[in-house]
Structure 1
Amino acid sequence: MRQFSILFFLLVCTGTALKAQFNTGRLPGRGMGGGGNTSMQRDTTKHDHEPDTLTLRYRFLDEPTDFTIDSTIADFSLNYLGFPSTYMTLGNNGNAARNLVFTPRMLPGFDPGFHAYDVYAFNHQNAKFYNTNRPFSELWYLIGAKQEQMINVQHTQNRGEKFNFSFQYRKVNSPGFFQNQATNHDTYNVTANYNSQDKRYHLYLSYYLNKINGGENGGVMDPADLSDPDNKDRRLVPVRLGGNNPGLGGLLNTNIPTKSYNQDASILVRQQYDWGHGDTVHVNDTTQYYKFDPVFRVEHTLTYTENTYRFQDAAPDSLYYRTFYNLTVPLNNPDTLRTRHRWRVFSNDISLMQFPMRGNQAHFIRVGAAFEIIKGQFQGSELREESFTNLRLHGEYRNKTRNQRWDLQAKGELYPIGENAGDFSAYGRLSRYLNETLGNVSLMVNNVNREPSYVYRYFGTRYGEEWSNNSLSKENITQVQLRADNKKGKYNLSANYFLYTNYTYFKSFTESAQNSGLFNLLQLVAYKRIDVRSFTFDGDVAFQQLAGTAPLQLPTVWARLRVAYTAKLFKNLNLYTGLEGKYNTPYYADEYSPVLGQFFYQNVQQISNMPDVAAFVHFRIKSLSAYVRGENLNSLVWDNNFVSPCTRRTTLVSGWACAGGS
């Protein structure tokens, strides 16, 4: 449930250039559960810098393109929160979240299956490897209603021309408007890259640590309580989990008795050695530099990852767990209810690369193999353990021409033996920049055959209850995408067509299932901006049409519209102020299972909300940027919006469960 709140966001950037900079968000990757690449993201802003100003560029792993950071102040969700506005949370920033625009996980290989908190986490795919001519730092601070606070600290600098390191820390602490809804996240990311003097040896290091604590209240007891005049303070509304706990908490008071608490830690070390041609280039009589063009490369990557996914309820309600989980909790002095999945994955990858065109490192052929060792431990009446291995073969051809007009990419992965034997992916994309008027167009085809995530196969608790499903077949997903990006026309448009076989899902609080039939989905995602003198109108829209019988519920239309006054005042003040509205058509929204940390299918209660409305004043003065926002103004006029249903349950014992309606 969404409540009215006021947010104040402050960004201070330090550096020689003293220029305001923003994070442009994340690329889809393994940690994000992405692959569909349907998020509404803008092109990064590019700048031409003078020699005495800050020059800052970065790259992602396996991507030869340089990126520059975005200095716009329009999109608060993407620029600061780090994920598109199509995501919805369970009523509070930092709670479990899911995307209202269909983005299936299109990655083969082993997956634990816990992705409800991925949007807040770092991973190796969104790690940035910087190169800057001057030290650069950012300090981001947000204060919101009910003592909500967010802190983001980032620093990067080069040590000479050969070595760069970066560090980022992000804190999310939000007590929320309802009981037992508090969140407290601490996430860390460290990257470093080194090039030898002769430019033959390269070293990349990426490390992240995500400590996620998300309060789980199971939703309000009865939606009628929301209309009670005695419950104007929403902390008086009874909730399903966590007991009566109307306290607020704070930045230093982070005790959350009923919560999902996950911890992900991983380190990646990649080494490369090149053979090729080196030349000394003379700029003038006194200036020269060494230029090296690789022809052949050997690449070695070691990755160690440890993930722990847990749930605890310090004072479990035996009636609730008996009703919805068929789980017997002792009535007298019940002990803390706990669940735990712990996974450790070690990967050793060797790749060979060839560069056919001298001077173009975005034109290459790569082949390689990786051996994976995977071990798991699970909570149960007895400690259960799993151990298995995988062999992964992979190859890629990439040709991004030096004139930047053509970009061809073809890559594939195959698991010939191991736990995930038979998993594969085949990906192809052709992109062409036409001209300034017509922009860039691309065609992408992706097919993935994958083993369903492990959480669909097994789950257990410390009380000895176990749920398992050993009858699951491999999922097969095909995506065809046509995309157009036009900077001059100020629009982005993508059309996606999905074919899905053996869709795997949760059908209740504890039961997984699989739809053996074939269904298809048509999806249109668009962004357009119109400038009329000093006013800006920009809108995002997504249209989704499902064909075939499938246990999948999505809003047919999701849309966001912003109307803003933009101006440059007093030489250095950049102002962006106006109204923002978001709306989606009625649909049968998924419910949420706190114990499993999973959204699950329901077709009993339809969610129909009024538009979410926010008023904002965003401005930038040199290196200072500030956001002042009044969120969810609609709750001052209409009833509160729900993000997940309150469904009448009659399993074993009748009762209300507003899963996520908090």
Structure 2
Amino acid sequence: TNSAARSLGNLRTGGSGKSTDSLERRDYSDDTIAISYRMPTTTLALKLDSSIRDFTSRFPIPADHIYLGNNGTPTRSLLFTPILQPGWDAGFHALDVYRWKLENVRFFNTTKPYTELNYMLGSQTEQMIEAFHTQNVKPNWNILFNYRLINSPGYFKNQKTNHNNYLVTSWYQSPKKRYNNYFAFLANNLLAGENGGLLNDQDYLNDPIYKDRFNIPTQLGGDGAAVTGFFTNTVTTGNKYKDFHFMMRQQYDLGKKDSLVTDSTIVPLFYPRLRFEHTLSYHLYNYRFTDALADTGYYNTYYGQGFTDLIDTFTRGDKWSRLVNDFSIIQFPDANNLQQYVKLGAALENLTGQFLTGKHQFHNFYAHGEYRNRTRNRKWDMALAGTLYINGLNGGDYQAQVSLKRFLPKNGASLELGFNNTNRSPSFIFDTRSSFYLESARGPVIFKRKILP
């Protein structure tokens, strides 16, 4: 049946008519739409969640995070959420909830063009605009475009935020279903003003003259005028995080061909048993803090940064480029269940960093493995995965994780038991070579690896 064909995890080549067990090929001129997507780390086809029960699923800031009330400013989780990813990490996570990440990219397959347009307007002309469009150019080739703008001037001086996210993807599958090509281009441009807090030389909050909070003087950023247009993206004092990502994943499968034959159509099927996968990804990161109206007394008091010359602008920045070559072999023990597989692979990572101390080059070589088994009755889901950094900048880092999940179909809930152990190097921002590293009065502080259970 077509339901069996869809469970293969391949691109949809047929659909059902009025009867669920029909073998008719889907008519692309039909009024209905069938849409699903796949994540980069799984072969499971997922459906869109169109419910509105949880507003935070459509709002960038999670429900368990606290922030200053201005959309786009740094956030912090109220829960204990350590970084469990081993290996290289630049260390800049204040604006993570506004970043789009490659591991969360969705590759779609749809029978009709699908578009979403979202607009949110809040107080102080806070705005969020998002445009999403995906369509199949051919039955076996899908493209996607996604854009989001977050803009808010804030309630206080120098609190303006302006975030832009861009995403373009492509998913192509050969007509014989042996070859898959996943392509993704992703970019984040995050700008967040920083005022250093309110001045405390008098009680501004209870003074009626400062009923408009924007008039209260702040530690950083000077006395600029309010700017409310969402096309203006000037932040004179604050953080500017920019990152660019390119990823191309190619897969070639060996397996068994089959087909479903009816009176009028032939539906080709393919049961992969062995998959070769190569992933090439290139990443650029630019983390910069700039204060165009630097107060030398403030930086000397709070950060111990003395200036030998009178300067107007204080700036610090780290730049990174990262190239990753990853090759994996995936074996499917059960041809009728692509959710059960064994994956073994290795990757070479080349890093180049530019700091105040100069330009430095690093590398990492690591191996990874995974076993996954989601039973055909979809009641149990077991996963074992591990990563070991064998050599390089982060040599010795590792991660081991095990999880067992039981689905409860009656109420749609699930129970999960898991274990995760990670040994990771400190983020590079704590390295003495980083432009953002600050020595204490006792000299350099050397951070060591930490084990996270």
Using structure 1 for the length normalisation, give the TM-score.
0.62
Q: Does 1:268 align with 2:247?
A: yes
CA positional deviation for 1:438: 8.9
1:248 corresponds to which of 208, 223, 227: 227
User: Which residue of structure 2 lines up, in the alignment, with residue 398 of structure 1?
Assistant: 372
Q: Does 1:237 align with 2:216?
A: yes
1:350 corresponds to which of 327, 336, 356: 327
- Secondary structure of the residue that 1:77 maps to in structure 2? helix
Q: Alpha-carbon deviations, 1:243-275, whole Å to 9, x = none?
A: 112423411232221010010001011000000
2:450 corresponds to which of 466, 469, 475: 475
- Secondary structure of the residue that 1:225 maps to in structure 2? coil
Partners in 1 of 2:71 and 2:301 — Cα distance? 29
CA contact (8 A) 2:428 2:434 kept: no
CA contact (8 A) 1:460 1:466 kept: no
More strand by share: 1
5 Å-filtered alignment, 1:371-386, equals 371-378=348-355, 380=356, 383-386=357-360
* CA-based RMSD: 2.1
Quickly say closer, same or farther: Cα 1:196–1:469, change in 2 above 3 A: farther
User: Which residue of structure 1 lines up, in the alignment, with residue 205 of structure 2?
Assistant: 226
CA positional deviation for 1:192: 1.1
Q: Does 1:195 align with 2:173?
A: yes
CA positional deviation for 1:432: 1.8
Partners in 1 of 2:208 and 2:68 — Cα distance? 24
CA positional deviation for 1:466: 6.7
Query: Which amino acid is 1:85 matched to?
Result: A
CA contact (8 A) 1:318 1:330 kept: no
- Secondary structure of the residue that 1:417 maps to in structure 2? strand
User: Which residue of structure 1 lines up, in the alignment, with residue 4 of structure 2?
Assistant: none
User: Which residue of structure 1 lines up, in the alignment, with residue 119 of structure 2?
Assistant: 141
CA contact (8 A) 1:345 1:374 kept: yes
CA positional deviation for 1:439: 4.3
CA contact (8 A) 2:147 2:167 kept: yes
Partners in 2 of 1:181 and 1:313 — Cα distance? 13
Partners in 2 of 1:59 and 1:388 — Cα distance? 33
User: Which residue of structure 2 lines up, in the alignment, with residue 450 of structure 1?
Assistant: 424
- Secondary structure of the residue that 1:227 maps to in structure 2? coil
Quickly say closer, same or farther: Cα 1:197–1:149, change in 2 above 3 A: same
5 Å-filtered alignment, 1:415-454, equals 415-436=389-410, 439-454=413-428
CA contact (8 A) 1:78 1:85 kept: no
CA contact (8 A) 2:318 2:435 kept: no
Gaps in structure 1 of 5+ consecutive residues: 1-47, 479-662
Q: Does 1:259 align with 2:226?
A: no
User: Which residue of structure 1 lines up, in the alignment, with residue 315 of structure 2?
Assistant: 338
Quickly say closer, same or farther: Cα 1:438–1:210, change in 2 above 3 A: closer
Partners in 1 of 2:412 and 2:104 — Cα distance? 30
CA positional deviation for 1:435: 4.8
Q: Alpha-carbon deviations, 1:354-382, whole Å to 9, x = none?
A: 0000121111000010011111001x3xx
User: Which residue of structure 1 lines up, in the alignment, with residue 54 of structure 2?
Assistant: 75
1:112 corresponds to which of 90, 103, 107: 90
1:103 corresponds to which of 72, 76, 81: 81
Q: Alpha-carbon deviations, 1:49-93, whole Å to 9, x = none?
A: 9964121111111122222222222433322x2342111223311
User: Which residue of structure 2 lines up, in the alignment, with residue 278 of structure 1?
Assistant: 257
User: Which residue of structure 2 lines up, in the alignment, with residue 58 of structure 1?
Assistant: 37
User: Which residue of structure 1 lines up, in the alignment, with residue 276 of structure 2?
Assistant: 298
CA contact (8 A) 2:274 2:332 kept: yes
Q: Alpha-carbon deviations, 1:291-317, whole Å to 9, x = none?
A: 000000110000111101000000101
User: Which residue of structure 1 lines up, in the alignment, with residue 142 of structure 2?
Assistant: 164
User: Which residue of structure 2 lines up, in the alignment, with residue 128 of structure 1?
Assistant: 106
5 Å-filtered alignment, 1:504-519, equals none
CA contact (8 A) 1:363 1:400 kept: yes
Partners in 2 of 1:461 and 1:370 — Cα distance? 28
Partners in 2 of 1:328 and 1:461 — Cα distance? 15
1:387 corresponds to which of 351, 357, 361: 361
Q: Alpha-carbon deviations, 1:430-483, whole Å to 9, x = none?
A: 112255269422211110011011101236659x987785622211011xxxxx
- Secondary structure of the residue that 1:319 maps to in structure 2? helix
CA positional deviation for 1:331: 7.3
5 Å-filtered alignment, 1:479-498, equals none
Query: Which amino acid is 2:331 matched to?
Result: Q
- Secondary structure of the residue that 2:86 maps to in structure 1? coil
Quickly say closer, same or farther: Cα 1:259–1:287, change in 2 above 3 A: same
CA contact (8 A) 2:439 2:445 kept: no
CA positional deviation for 1:146: 1.8
- Secondary structure of the residue that 1:62 maps to in structure 2? coil
- Secondary structure of the residue that 2:204 maps to in structure 1? helix
Query: Which amino acid is 2:301 matched to?
Result: T
CA positional deviation for 1:113: 0.6
5 Å-filtered alignment, 1:30-41, equals none
- Secondary structure of the residue that 1:119 maps to in structure 2? helix
Partners in 2 of 1:280 and 1:249 — Cα distance? 60
Quickly say closer, same or farther: Cα 1:461–1:362, change in 2 above 3 A: closer
Bigger shift: residues 287-296 or 58-67: 58-67
CA contact (8 A) 1:339 1:460 kept: no
Considering Cα pairs closer than 8 Å and 6+ residues apart, tell me whether 1 or 2 has the greater RCO.
Answer: 1
- Secondary structure of the residue that 1:113 maps to in structure 2? coil
CA contact (8 A) 1:338 1:461 kept: no
CA contact (8 A) 1:374 1:389 kept: yes
- How many corresponding residue pairs? 424
2:339 corresponds to which of 356, 362, 379: 362
CA positional deviation for 1:385: 1.8
Q: Alpha-carbon deviations, 1:165-200, whole Å to 9, x = none?
A: 111010111001100000111110111111001100
CA contact (8 A) 1:457 1:469 kept: no
Query: Which amino acid is 2:234 matched to?
Result: N
Partners in 2 of 1:313 and 1:461 — Cα distance? 15
Quickly say closer, same or farther: Cα 1:407–1:461, change in 2 above 3 A: closer
User: Which residue of structure 1 lines up, in the alignment, with residue 265 of structure 2?
Assistant: 287
Partners in 2 of 1:255 and 1:200 — Cα distance? 49
Partners in 2 of 1:313 and 1:424 — Cα distance? 38
